[in-house]
A and B are shown apart, each in its own frame.
Chain A
């Protein structure tokens, strides 16, 4: 936007301040360094509602105190807050008195106590004592609105933030207000559990202790915790998070608003999956297979010795399977050890990466400002990169056209006259997304761009780190002497398991017993993103820092890779900063570790180096035949994987055993939503419930991967 916004001058408590016309009064006062207290006001939740009446201010020319949150700055406006106006001070004091009339005095046992806006504002603006002599209003409590969230209606001040989040942000409409007047209360629609990818956000925006996390309830007090700024490592978005520790243990994860990446929202996986760190089957010591006795604990010295022996024995016939959840540093160290020290260049990378997408680079927040968003591929966006789903919803609320075009064809009519077009590839190959972006010339338009949603948190960083360690071409060894399995996602991957069948020995690096037993000869304890220092590269290509928040129960990967490096004559530092420095020269343009900062910036777009790529079009689904086999899209569900499986509170969020069918295919098979169907392929069959999804392409059947393990791409679906 080139036009300069019109500036207006507003006087707040005698201080003149210049802001753009239309700026909210709360922000205007903030610009003047003056606080206008609020409860219900939260611009991310849509238009201000003026419900709590905390922000009442004296505005010149207005007979009554005005709710500042609903007003915008006009030239010459004179505003007096509680600082200088008795009228405003009295109004704010009155609001707090009314809020506290029925609020329980349970601050000493309330999770919010100590970090509670109601407490803080009462101290600053409220009455010092109560005049209420009647019994307070009571409700049943706490009400578990889901296994993750407890609702205390007595503490609720009815600011309607949670219902507005549910209505205007996640757009699920599940949280509602019921009854009226003094008996108004928050509830879930139809008293169903509050289910969805983003439910936990309501505990964070709640300004009192009404919505609390069941995982954190009664576990800590604000003065005995530390909050560590880090980045979530569970999906490719890389939401900025604040990790709460008590006595060295992770107890809570909250959003740490990076307005270009996550807009201050966090999905439930990122928020609640941390307790997998303390899973019962967490591996804390190296394990080695002994004949007829299975895996037994060995010392670190023995483990490193054994690892060296396995690597040397394979004589370069080594395949490394990577997870995509490794830090860039860890992947590089492993690559350097194996490629430079053992001549082992073959790797199973977590996913395909296409650097040509960089010239369509945008911050994720740009999706919200698009005129049109094109979603290609058959997979649900929310399952691959949940926050992107919120950005797309924001775009639609802002007036954008959302075009679901699984094959990326026939877009010209839908995109006619659209200036800022963003392509989001959700499924298929990134090359397809890049080719489409080239065809639409999105790099030449302001605000236009493309994203391909990766499947893993750091697939790109891992791939770049692997290739930076050596220029040698890999050769596929046969037979495989040693399969090195790096990380839990690789260990859980059926394709990797299949490789193990052809390997003489297996070295697995994993966090959990369940993933190690039965196939590994040597197991080295893995760590989580919450236990490592290092960097991740997200969807946008943004390099972000993860910080070690808690000490892992065993030395981290970098420590023993460095030790092994010494034995193979490869110099590897055990310090991420040093590894990054070496790596940055090669792939990140020499940026220093310290420069990434707490809120990483986006690298600039590289100029397009090649012409309009003819590029492959997305895979065409063959014309659907009435009773023929269907093309199976098995997606990795958000609430799946080794970490989620180990969090009891998240189990209700796991994908239901359903198969999604297009109306065309369902009708042809006389199947309706809820019917039991039999899905078969290659002689195996599974019974699932059907769900008819209108947005699905005819000929496609969609299932969460965990329900059809090992199924091929063609499946037969029949009504049971």
Chain B
């Protein structure tokens, strides 16, 4: 697909303008959609979102308009809009790009959505490490406030304190309320009892940044983009790992993984072979190199038992030992498990212990199946999706690269003999050393 024909929605105009400035954003029609929406009935705004078939960009792919319609229109309590900017999934870096480059489009989307659910309170929960993003957004918010665009809506920017689990919607609410960041049991769902036990809508940054363009172009027009009927519109694909040109690319949904990795991101560097691709962020089941002609749509990936998630494509080349990769991913989830529910708290630690043993070449044959069984016993048994997020990828590494795991057992050592590397894939474990670390006895 040629560069010129590719539609750009979320980052539109950001190449030629400094859209962090209110004046420049307005010069390309910024905040017109807000005025248009505010002239409409709230329910008509939701109709427009429904027509666009916009799905949640945080990873769950739930219809945004439908979720907004769950907020009772006649709630005696205040209703809240909460925006999840706690982008923490390894492999994702799209929300930060939006906050840095089109903060006004995000704020406009928030104000439109607040109108749609009759809310006068917007909370943006920003990942604690995102300082520059926070400051950019704060400056933009000051401008919006100065220009009188808030119309009585309060927008609160809240910085998190560095816990992955606070990106889970109910964990985020707990943290926002000043409590320990641990997910809540659902039901009750946030739409009924969310923040401060009031109806609350929680949306991802990218979702919110898509709302204003939808209002501007009309929902039906947006629905023609991408791969209708389900995977409509564009997405910010975070391409990382062993590719020549890693970065964010706003692309219509429906392109194949091969197109994105090779035509757009320049392919695997140094002439190495592509070994596998993680399609949606570290918590998603992995795809092998022969599965990359799959279109990047929800349905096509579901058919391969994986998910588009937050559209974070991680390319993995042939230098990578899958056991080492699995260990690193498992370590991340063990470190980030909140400790509330049993399978995740205990299971993630156990997984790490087994993977360490396999990587060290000390594992027995039965422990490969034990690892799969531990994954299986975590899956679907946890309070929130974090446990699944740890178990799903590991189980997929073992099943799809069973031979490599088997070699570790047979050789009594890692077949890569020290040549394997996770460079460009994941940050090293000791990056977390400032946090209380989990000691796993050898």
Contact = CB atoms under 8 A, between A and B. Distances in A.
The list of the 9 closest CB pairs from A to B, nearest first, reads: A184-B339, A50-B185, A94-B377, A181-B337, A98-B346, A182-B349, A64-B380, A135-B441, A70-B185
Given A157-B342, A158-B345, A182 B381 contact: no
A586 interface: no
B347 interface: yes
Given A48-B185, A181-B438, A91 B381 contact: yes
B346 A102 contact: yes
B394 to A, nearest CB: 16
Interface in A26-70: 48-54, 56, 63-65, 67, 70
Interface of B: 163, 165, 180, 185, 187, 334-343, 345-350, 353, 357, 370, 377-378, 380-383, 436, 438, 441
A50 B383 contact: yes
Given A53-B341, A182-B348, A183-B436, 9 more contacts: A51-B383, A53-B383, A63-B380, A65-B380, A94-B378, A132-B350, A181-B339, A182-B337, A182-B438
A181 B342 contact: no
Contact of B381 (A94, A132, A135): A94
Contacts of B336: 180-181
Contacts of B180: 177
B441 A134 contact: yes
Contacts, number: 104
Nearest to B366: A131
A65 B381 contact: yes
Contacts of A54: 342
Given A51-B340, A134-B441, A179-B339, A95 B381 contact: yes
Contacts of B436: 179-180, 183
Residue among B163, B338, B343, B436 having the largest count of chain A Cβ atoms under 10 Å: B343
A52 B382 CA distance: 9
Contacts of A50: 185, 341, 383
Contacts of A135: 441
Given A49-B185, A50-B185, A180 B337 contact: yes
A182 B345 contact: yes
Contacts of A71: 187
A132 B374 CA distance: 11
A65 B378 CA distance: 12
12 contacts: A50-B185, A94-B377, A98-B350, A99-B346, A132-B350, A134-B441, A135-B441, A158-B340, A181-B334, A182-B337, A182-B349, A184-B339
A313 interface: no
A459 B93 CA distance: 72
Contact of B342 (A52, A64, A90, A177): A52
A134 B358 CA distance: 13
A344 B353 CA distance: 81
B305 to A, nearest CB: 15
Given A53-B342, A99-B342, A181 B349 contact: yes
B341 A182 contact: no
A99 B350 CA distance: 11
A53 B185 contact: no
B348 A181 contact: yes
Interface residues of A, number: 38
A158 B441 contact: no
A70 B185 CA distance: 7
A625 interface: no
Contacts of B185: 48-50, 67, 70
Interface in A639-684: none
Interface in A583-612: none
A49 B436 CA distance: 25
A181 B381 contact: no
A180 B339 contact: yes
A180 B381 contact: no
A57 to B, nearest CB: 12
A94 B391 CA distance: 14
B347 A98 contact: yes
Contacts of B335: 181
A184 B163 CA distance: 14
A96 to B, nearest CB: 9
B442 to A, nearest CB: 8
A56 B338 CA distance: 20
A716 interface: no
B267 to A, nearest CB: 38
Contacts of A132: 350
A98 B382 CA distance: 12
B349 A95 contact: no
A15 interface: no
A670 B118 CA distance: 51
A179 B383 CA distance: 18
A135 B440 CA distance: 9
Contacts of B343: 53, 94-95, 98
B339 A177 contact: yes
B378 to A, nearest CB: 8
B337 to A, nearest CB: 4
Contacts of A157: 342
A67 B438 CA distance: 28
A67 B380 CA distance: 11
A137 interface: yes
Nearest to B344: A181
B118 to A, nearest CB: 25
A101 interface: yes
Contacts of B349: 101-102, 137, 181-182
A52 B345 CA distance: 10
A159 to B, nearest CB: 9
A54 B383 CA distance: 12
A97 interface: yes
Interface in A183-197: 183-184
A56 B337 contact: no
A103 B167 CA distance: 30
A182 B180 CA distance: 16
Nearest to A100: B346
Give the interface centre of A70, A95, A183 by most chain B CB atoms within 10 Å: A183
Nearest to B180: A177
B60 to A, nearest CB: 15
Contact of B370 (A56, A70, A91, A131): A131
A131 to B, nearest CB: 6
Contacts of A98: 342-343, 345-347, 350, 377
A94 B441 CA distance: 23
Contacts of A160: 340
A129 to B, nearest CB: 13
Interface in A120-167: 131-132, 134-135, 137, 157-158, 160
Nearest to B343: A98
Contacts of A158: 339-340, 342, 345
Contacts of B353: 134
Interface string A5-31: 000000000000000000000000000
Most chain B Cβ neighbours within 10 Å, of A48, A56, A94: A94
A220 B438 CA distance: 37
B366 to A, nearest CB: 9
